[in-house]
Amino acid sequence: MTQFSFELLAEDGAARLGRVHTAHGAIDTPAFMPVGTAATVKAMLPGSVAATGAQIVLGNTYHLMLRPGAERVARLGGLHKFMNWPGPILTDSGGFQVMSLAKLRKLDEDGVTFQSHHDGSRHRLTPESSMDIQRLLDADITMAFDECTPFPATPEQAAVSMRLSMRWAARSKAAFVPRPGYGLFGIVQGGVYPELRADSAKALLEIGFDGYAVGGLAVGEGQEAMFATLEVTTPLLPRDKPRYLMGVGRPSDIIGAVLRGVDMFDCVMPTRSGRTAQAFTRRGTVNLRNARHQDDPRPLEEGCSCPCCRDHSRAYLHHLIRSEEILGPMLLTWHNIQAYQDLMRSLREAIAEGRVAEFAAEAARLEALGDI
Ligand SMILES: O=c1[nH]cnc2c(CCNCC3CCCCC3)c3[nH]c(NCc4cccs4)nc3cc12
């Protein structure tokens, strides 16, 4: 039976090439995890997600506990069977989504009480219930129940919030049921304050986790502050465990974070943007609603192997978007996920060959050119 583990295969500065082994398969890192909110990567078939090169997807505890319910998913064989995704799945703890989506949230030492944004029914999430739900979903990687410290926060506010998350991290670890091939990740908090980040990392190491996420970032602090915080945080985390930067990000954010020691990423942008006609290319984002594309016979991105770029023109994509045809968001979602997976593969190859700094410089140069 596979044990949950992380293989460190190569290093190039602080950047790492690795492989995470889980009960449902391996993940090559640096890795981008497409978000599968309500047990689906929106507008994509599971086979299409796999065809992009994605090896792991995210499931959303908040949504699934409300509908169809974690017990129902468990009765139906767990999330892998329910959504027909045989590969690894990471579920978030539900905490972040409760704070951003639910109504009438009441947070106390024990957890969060909230009303469903669907029907107003009352629910409660605690470290213990979050672990139970993630186990019912059969997540290969379970996230500790934390509070994402709002931004901006004073050092005092960030300290109070971080200490609550550390108490919740200990309770998450105590409630987590260890199984071969299944892992639990802790989440570092501490705002943009180096001492608090150090305190949080130290607290999590004492509790002991299979992987370490950096939370509380990509919440409006800006790329410079995010990178500065990573520079004082990742060096404090174990070299032989995966690091996961939550909610990141744009391609330039991901590249900069990989250079600062991050291995795993999740972000709603490639899927959400795909549905709003925003396409990610090596030369920056392209808005296909823009009339400049209406006579353009070229593919969205030269050299991209996805069905959107392989089989269709910008003029056609523009037409689909303007006509609000379902195929529009389908093709752009596929392209965006493929573009992110191609970026991660290029980063892995660059690290393996010891040229990741050069890769980052070239990527920044191309993006600065803008689309033509
Ligand atoms: O400290 C954190 N703790 C827990 N989760 C965080 C998340 C959510 C990560 N994606 C979850 C996914 C689970 C499946 C459904 C989709 C989300 C963050 N996202 C961002 N920035 C991006 C942001 C997105 C929205 C507002 S900021 N910063 C984050 C910080 C934390």
Which residues are marked as active site?
92, 266
**Residue 26 burial (10 A CB sphere; 0-12, 13-18, 19+):** middle
ipTM: 0.99
Q: From atom 2 of ligand 1, which residue's Cα is the shortest distance away? A: 215
- Strand-pairing partners, residue 19, are 7, 28
Report the separation in Å between the CA atom of 284 and the middle of ligand 1, taken as the mean of its atom positions.
23
Q: What is the pLDDT of residue 1?
A: 74
Give 220 Cα–ligand 1 centroid separation in angstroms. Answer: 12
| C-alpha of residue 228 to centroid of ligand 1, in Å | 19
Ligand 1 centre to CA of 218 (Å) is: 8
Which ligand 1 atom sits closest to the C-alpha of 249?
Answer: 22
Comparing CA positions, the residue from 183, 198, 200 lying closest to residue 148 is 200
Closest C-alpha to ligand 1, atom 27: 219
Residue with CA closest to ligand 1 atom 31? 215
Is the distance from the beta carbon of residue 39 to the nearest atom of ligand 1 less than 6 Å?
no
Question: For residue 44, what are its two tokens?
Answer: 């994509």
The pLDDT of residue 186: 99
Q: How far apart are CA 8 and CA 238, in angstroms?
A: 11
What is the pLDDT tens value at each position of the chain, 372 positions in all?
A: 789 999 999 999 999 999 999 999 999 999 999 999 899 999 999 999 999 999 999 999 999 999 999 999 999 999 999 999 999 999 999 999 998 888 889 999 999 999 999 999 999 999 999 999 999 999 999 999 999 999 999 999 999 999 999 999 999 999 999 999 999 999 999 999 999 999 999 999 999 999 999 999 999 999 999 999 999 999 999 999 999 999 999 999 999 999 999 999 999 999 999 999 999 999 999 999 999 999 999 999 999 999 999 999 999 999 999 999 999 999 999 999 999 999 999 999 999 999 999 999 999 999 999 999
Is the CB of residue 188 less than 8 Å from the CB of residue 215? yes
Q: How far, in Å, from the CA of 96 to the mean position of ligand 1?
A: 6
φ and ψ at residue 15, rounded to 5 degrees: -75, 145
The answer to whether the predicted template modeling score (pTM) of the entire model surpasses 0.90 is: yes
Cis geometry, peptide bond prior to residue 299 (ω within 30 degrees of 0): no
Convert the chain into a string of H (helix), E (strand) and C (coil): CCCCEEEEEEEECCEEEEEEEECCEEEEECEEECEECCCCCCCCCHHHHHHCCCCCEEECHHHHHHCCCHHHHHHCCCHHHHHCCCCCEEECCCHHHHHHHCEEEEECCCCEEEECCCCCCEEEECHHHHHHHHHHCCCCEEECCCCCCCCCCCHHHHHHHHHHHHHHHHHHHHHCCCCCCCEEEEEECCCCCHHHHHHHHHHHHHHCCCEEEECCCCCCCCHHHHHHHHHHHHHHCCCCCCEEECCCCCHHHHHHHHCCCCCEEECCHHHHHHHCCEEEECCEEEECCCHHHCCCCCCCCCCCCCHHHHHCCHHHHHHHHHCCCCHHHHHHHHHHHHHHHHHHHHHHHHHHCCCHHHHHHHHHHHHHHCCC
Binding site membership of 37 for ligand 1 (Cβ less than 6 Å): yes
Ligand 1 contact, 229 CB (< 6 A): no
CA atoms within 13 A on the CB side of 349: 7
User: Which residue out of 146, 148, 149 has the highest number of ligand 1 atoms within 8 Å of its CB and is therefore the one to mutate?
Assistant: 148
Per-residue confidence (pLDDT) for residue 203, from 0 to 100: 99
Distance, CA of 95 to CA of 107 (rounded, Å):
10
220 Cβ below 6 A of ligand 1: no
CB-CB contact of 269 with 247 (8 Å): no
